[in-house]
């Protein structure tokens, strides 16, 4: 929780206001729950600012994220109807690959992921949105389906004021290095340790 | 991310389904951003299930959480108008105390916090909601304004299927012990380290 105190006043020739409004590249990583959930929570703040929000969901599942998708897209519809908040688009990348790589072939998944990343690049170049969630995007990076150097280069040099949040385990070091904000979600205790499986409304 | 594998199958005489639908007590703690944000993200999933949601905000600020408040209460209004999702109530506990204790007197703050907790106890006893966010609730516990033993006792023995998420730094050990799920948000990198202050749409 910010108290408004900064550790260092940088010698970058910028005013506090200029620095304050710099576009943010955030990474939510670590082995524990909350990485995507916190990103979608941030999207609520962005919505409230009237910003255009885009979610690119890189891992598919029949049920995961459906709650967040329905709630955020409902906020997007509210914007269309009343002008309140901002617009929301939710992209599902690829046609059916999951992080466990159990469905389809690896070649298909790699092509789907590359196509998803190509769309993000186009949107960033066009400054199509103000707040981006690249959900579970670390997995295609980890598996070599999308080139890490290309991602870092593109994100670092993105034009305008576009905030980007990348989520997923095992964020590559070059991405962590490039990011302004990196949070690691670590496990203290999880119900699965006590034999409890995921449940509706909590896990999805 | 759950793969459906549990570490231990408990000898508690419950079926997986019974265990699956057990009410969850979650704690989001640690020094880093994302504790409250992830709780509000969970609230989006709860909303999508049509559950009644209550937020009790224990730390006040002119701007923090206004984005989440506006987005979640907008979802609550959508429920009233269309029946989609679930109802949302957002309580601000006390009249003006903040976690930095800079405003008002400590006596006032303690009374406000105790009153807030008394309301939560009444709501839990009445099974008024299905999903509760006790936001920044660890601070009144830490400062001795609300009794930790009373909180743990009440939460552990709450009736029905009421999910509760408590957020804030320095969660007391007895609360961590009682919780089913505990996530610690730890800092890898924060823009304030580089001299950047909080910004609209990102921090609030």
User: Is the CB of residue A174 less than 8 Å away from at least one CB of chain B?
Assistant: no
User: Is the CB of residue A63 less than 8 Å away from at least one CB of chain B?
Assistant: no
With a pLDDT cut of 90, the percent of chain B lying above it is 51
Tell me: pLDDT of B2 over 70. no
Query: What CA–CA distance (Å, rounded) separates B9 from B110?
Result: 43
CATH 3.40.50.970 fits A22-194, yes or no: no
pLDDT level of residue B161 (50, 70, 90 thresholds): very high
Pairing assessment for the beta strands A25-29 and A181-189 based on DSSP bridges:
parallel
Least confident of A102-106, B20-24, B134-138, B169-173: A102-106
Residue B141 is encoded by which pair of tokens? Answer: 């516990």
Q: Which among A47, A26, A50 is positioned nearest to A134, based on CA atoms?
A: A26
Task: Report which of residues B96 and B94 the model is more confident about.
Answer: B94
Interface of B with A in 117-156 (CB under 8 A): 130-131
pLDDT level of residue B72 (50, 70, 90 thresholds): very high
User: Is the CB of residue A201 less than 8 Å away from at least one CB of chain B?
Assistant: yes
Best residue in A21, A22, A41, A76 for a mutation probing chain B (most B CBs within 10 Å): A41
pLDDT level of residue B183 (50, 70, 90 thresholds): confident
Residue A201 three-state SS: coil
Instruction: Give CA angle at B147 (A3, B137), nearest 5°.
Output: 35
Buried b (16+ CB within 10 A) or exposed e, B21-37: bbbbbbbbbbebbbbbb
Tell me: pLDDT of B195 over 80. no
Average pLDDT over residues B131-143: 93
Query: What CA–CA distance (Å, rounded) separates B33 from A1?
Result: 7
At residue A34, the pLDDT reads 82
Best residue in A8, A64, A71, A203 for a mutation probing chain B (most B CBs within 10 Å): A71
Query: What CA–CA distance (Å, rounded) separates A128 from A168?
Result: 23
Q: Which among A122, A109, A116 is positioned nearest to A154, based on CA atoms?
A: A122
Nearest chain A alpha carbon to B102: A3
At residue A3, the pLDDT reads 46
End-to-end Cα spacing for chain A: 27
Query: What CA–CA distance (Å, rounded) separates B178 from B60?
Result: 27
Residues of A in contact with B138 (CB under 8 A): none
Cβ of A182 within 8 Å of Cβ of B204? The answer is no
Task: Report which of residues B204 and B161 the model is more confident about.
Answer: B161
For chain A, the structural domain boundaries read: 22-194
What are the mean pLDDT values of chain A's consecutive 10-residue runs (204 residues total)?
52 58 87 85 93 90 75 96 95 60 63 90 97 94 94 97 94 94 79 63 67
Average pLDDT over residues B10-33: 73
Mutual angle of helices A106-125 and A148-156, in 10-degree steps: 10
Q: Which among B165, B157, B103 is positioned nearest to A202, based on CA atoms?
A: B165
Query: What CA–CA distance (Å, rounded) separates B49 from A128?
Result: 31
Cβ of A1 within 8 Å of Cβ of B48? The answer is no
Q: Enumerate helices (H) and strands (E) in chain A, giving the number of each.
A: 7, 6
- Report the sign of the C-alpha dihedral through residues B30, A67, A141, A54, in that order: negative
At residue A108, the pLDDT reads 73
In DSSP terms, B185 is beta-bridged to A185
Question: What ipTM was estimated for this complex?
Answer: 0.73
At residue B79, the pLDDT reads 97
Nearest beta carbon to residue B193 from set A8, A22, A163: A8
Cβ of B71 within 8 Å of Cβ of A75? The answer is yes
At residue A1, the pLDDT reads 38
Tell me: pLDDT of B105 over 80. no
Residue A68 is encoded by which pair of tokens? Answer: 């967040």
With a pLDDT cut of 70, the percent of chain B lying above it is 74
Query: What CA–CA distance (Å, rounded) separates B12 from B24?
Result: 17
Query: What is the phi/psi pair of residue B26, to 5°?
Result: -115, 145
Residues of B in contact with A64 (CB under 8 A): 1
């Amino acid at each position: 929780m910010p108290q408004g105190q900064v550790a260092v006043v940088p010698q970058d020739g910028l005013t506090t206001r200029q620095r304050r409004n710099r576009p943010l590249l955030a990474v939510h990583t670590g082995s524990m729950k909350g990485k995507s959930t916190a990103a979608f929570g941030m999207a609520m703040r962005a919505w409230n600012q009237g910003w255009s929000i885009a979610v690119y969901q890189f891992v598919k599942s029949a049920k995961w994220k459906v709650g967040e998708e329905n709630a955020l897209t409902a906020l997007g519809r509210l914007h269309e109807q009343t002008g309140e908040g901002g617009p929301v688009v939710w992209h599902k990348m690829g046609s059916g690959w999951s992080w466990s790589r159990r469905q389809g072939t690896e070649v298909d998944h790699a092509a789907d992921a590359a196509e998803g990343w190509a769309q993000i690049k186009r949107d960033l170049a066009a400054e199509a949105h103000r707040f981006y969630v690249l959900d579970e995007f670390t997995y295609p990076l980890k598996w070599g389906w999308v080139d890490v150097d290309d991602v870092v280069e593109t994100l670092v040099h993105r034009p305008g004021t576009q905030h980007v949040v990348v989520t997923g385990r095992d964020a590559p070091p070059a991405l962590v290095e490039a990011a302004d904000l990196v949070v690691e979600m670590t496990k203290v205790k999880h119900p699965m340790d006590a034999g409890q499986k995921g449940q509706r409304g909590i896990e999805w």
